[in-house]
Amino acid sequence: MATSKDMKSQVYRDYQNWAAVSGTLINEAREVFPGGDTRMSAHFAPYPVFIERASGSRLYDADGHEIIDFMNNFTSLIHGHANPAVVAAVTEQMARGSAYAAPTGSQVELGQLIRERIPGVEQLRFTSSGTEATLMGLRAARAFTGRQKIMKMEGGYHGSYELAEVSLVPKPGDRGPLERPNSVAVDASIPDSVLADTIVCPFNQPELAARLIREHAHELAAVIAEPVLGSMGMVPATREFLEMLRAETAAAGIVFILDEVITLRTTFGGAQQHFGVTPDLTAMGKIIGGGLPIGAIGGSTELMRMFHPDEPEPVMHASTFSGNPLSMAAGGAAMQQLNPQNIEHINSLGEHFRQGVADTFSSHGIRGQATGLGSLSNIHLTNTPINDARDSLDGVIAAGNIGSLLHLGMLRRGVASASRLMYCTSTAMQRADVEFAISALDDTLREMKPGIERERPALLA
C-alpha cells in the first residue's frame, strides 16, 4: 500500500527533475551557508530555486523557467520587479553616492509622503528593516511609560528578535488555555526573562483580551498587534477587536502599536484607515522601500519626542543604513506611483484569487480555502473557519505535509508563493495571472488527489 513517503518522494523527484540546475547550485551553497541559504523564511525542502533575474510579475530561475511571482519578496514589491521608475531613481542616486552619515532632502520627501497618507503618523524615523521599526517602537513605549512588560498577540510576528517571536507558533500542548495563553519560546535562543516580560493575548477575542489588558495595565508599556496575522496564515483582525485594543490601551495609558509592515498596502492609508483605528505608533516597512531594505516607526509628536536628541535621555537609535539615499530614492519612486486606483486593482486581484481557490478546492472535493485582506492571501487545507493562529496552525498540523507538497506542485507549474502558501498580488499583475494560478492549483490538486485519498482522507470534503 502507498504511504505518505511515497507521495512525498514522487513530488520531490518531479521537482528535482524540474529544478536540476538549482539542485546543483544548492550543493555549492551548502558549503558556504548552513542549509544553503541566509534567510530562514525563504528556505524550503528539498531546496529552493535559484533566481537569476526578474521583471514585472515574472521570475527567471537558473533552470530557465519563467515563474509568476505571487510572493513579491514577502509582500515588499508592490509594483513587482525592476519597476522602471524605481530603477531610474536608484540609478540616478547611485551615481551621487549610496550612503552618507548626514540628513538628505530625500528623507524629508519620503517622510512627508508617509505623514500625509497614514492617519496615525505625525512624525517618524526611518530604520533599516521592519524588525528594527517594531523594536524601536517598543523601546520608545517603555521609555515613555516607565513600564517594562509588553503584550503581543498569539501568532503575531514583529521581526527577528526575542520578544517579537514569543508565541509565534502556538503549538498544542504548549500554548495553554485560550483565555490566558502561555508565553512560548519559538526556539532555544529565547531567554526566560523575555518570556516573563511578554504577556500573550488571544487574537480576535475582544472580551478575553480586554480582561487581560485590565489585569496587567499597571505593568504594560505597550500592546502591539498586526491588523492581519501575516506569518500565521493571513488572518484578518475584526474591527471590533482592534477597536477594543485602541479603547483599552487609551484608558490605561498604554502605548498601542500597530504593526503595518505588511498591511500598509491594503488601502491608501494602511489598514488603520480601513479599520478606522488610529494607533499611538505605527511600524512600517516593505513597500515604503521600493524593494530596498527599509523600515520606519511613526506616531504622535509626543511619543516620537522620545527620540529627540535634545531630550535629557533620548531613546538610543543609531543605525548605519537608516534613511540611506538608495532606499529613499527607491521608496519615493514606489510610493509616488501607489494611488487608490492601483490599490483597488491589486485588492480586486486578491479577492478574485481567494474566490478561485475556494471554488477549485470545492470542485475537487478537497477541504481548502484562502483567507486574507485585499491583496494579501493564504491558502489553508481546511474548511474550518480560521479566526486566529490556533485555527491556522491546527489546520497545518491536520494536513501533514500536503501543504508543502502543494507548494512544490504549484512552483513546478510556474507559480511562486511562500512555502507556507502565502500569496500576494502586485500592480504588475493582471487578471490573467490570477487565472493562471487558479489553473495551476486545479492541475496540482488533480495530480495530488489520489495520494490525498490514500494518505489524508480527512482532507476530503
Could you give the CA distance from residue 89 to residue 66 in angstroms, rounded to a whole number?
27
Domain check: are 332 and 247 in the same one? yes
**Interval 207-223: pLDDT, tens:** 999 999 999 999 999 99
What is the DSSP annotation of 226-294?
A: -SEETTTT-EEPPHHHHHHHHHHHHHHTPEEEEE-TTGGGSSTTHHHHHHT---SEEEEEGGGGTTSS-
Domain check: are 139 and 16 in the same one? no
Residue 42 corresponds to which amino acid?
A
Say whether 228 sits in a helix, a strand or coil. Answer: strand
User: In the prediction, which pLDDT does 6 show?
Assistant: 87
Domain check: are 201 and 254 in the same one? yes
Q: Are 269 and 298 in contact (CB under 8 A)?
A: no
Q: Are 183 and 200 in contact (CB under 8 A)?
A: yes
Of 337, 357, 372, which residue sits at a domain end? 337
**Interval 183-206: pLDDT, tens:** 999 999 999 999 999 999 999 999
Q: Are 177 and 161 in contact (CB under 8 A)?
A: no
**Strand order across the beta sheet in which 422-424 lies:** 369-373, 376-380, 422-424
Of 301, 322, 337, which residue sits at a domain end? 337
User: In the prediction, which pLDDT does 5 show?
Assistant: 64
Residue 227 corresponds to which amino acid?
P
**Interval 22-73: pLDDT, tens:** 999 999 999 999 999 999 899 999 999 999 999 999 999 999 999 999 999 9
Domain check: are 31 and 131 in the same one? no
**Interval 405-440: pLDDT, tens:** 999 999 999 999 999 999 999 999 999 999 999 999
Q: Is the dihedral of CA 92, 94, 97, 103 positive or negative?
A: positive
Is the pLDDT assigned to residue 177 strictly greater than 80? yes
Domain membership of residue 434 (yes or no) is no
Domain membership of residue 302 (yes or no) is yes
User: In the prediction, which pLDDT does 394 show?
Assistant: 96
Q: How many residues does the chain have?
A: 461
Is the pLDDT assigned to residue 4 strictly greater than 90? no
Could you give the CA distance from residue 68 to residue 413 in angstroms, rounded to a whole number?
10
Domain check: are 164 and 246 in the same one? yes
Domain membership of residue 459 (yes or no) is no
Number of domains in the chain: 2
Domain check: are 160 and 256 in the same one? yes
**Interval 94-110: pLDDT, tens:** 999 999 999 999 999 99
Domain check: are 208 and 101 in the same one? yes
**Interval 258-286: pLDDT, tens:** 999 999 999 999 999 999 999 999 999 99
Domain check: are 4 and 130 in the same one? no
Which ranges in 34-83 belong to alpha helices (H)?
72-75
Q: Are 175 and 167 in contact (CB under 8 A)?
A: yes
Could you give the CA distance from residue 18 to residue 352 in angstroms, rounded to a whole number?
29
Residue 73, phi-psi category: left (phi > 0), alpha (psi -120 to 50), beta (remainder): left
**Interval 324-379: pLDDT, tens:** 999 999 999 999 999 999 999 999 999 999 999 999 999 999 999 999 999 999 99
Domain membership of residue 430 (yes or no) is no
User: In the prediction, which pLDDT does 1 show?
Assistant: 35
Domain check: are 16 and 129 in the same one? no
Domain check: are 169 and 236 in the same one? yes
Domain membership of residue 260 (yes or no) is yes
Domain check: are 214 and 288 in the same one? yes
Domain membership of residue 394 (yes or no) is no
The C-alpha angle 325, 327, 330, rounded to 5 degrees, equals 105
Measured in degrees and rounded to the nearest 5, phi and psi for residue 448 equal -85, -20
Of 272, 305, 337, which residue sits at a domain end? 337
Domain membership of residue 314 (yes or no) is yes
Q: Is the dihedral of CA 30, 75, 280, 332 positive or negative?
A: positive
Find the helix or strand (DSSP H, E) in which 225 lies: strand 220-225
- Which whole-number Å values give the CA distances from 202 to 163, 170, 323, in the listed order? 16, 11, 35
CATH classification at residue 93: 3.40.640.10
Domain hosting 132: range is 84-337
Domain membership of residue 387 (yes or no) is no
Domain check: are 202 and 260 in the same one? yes
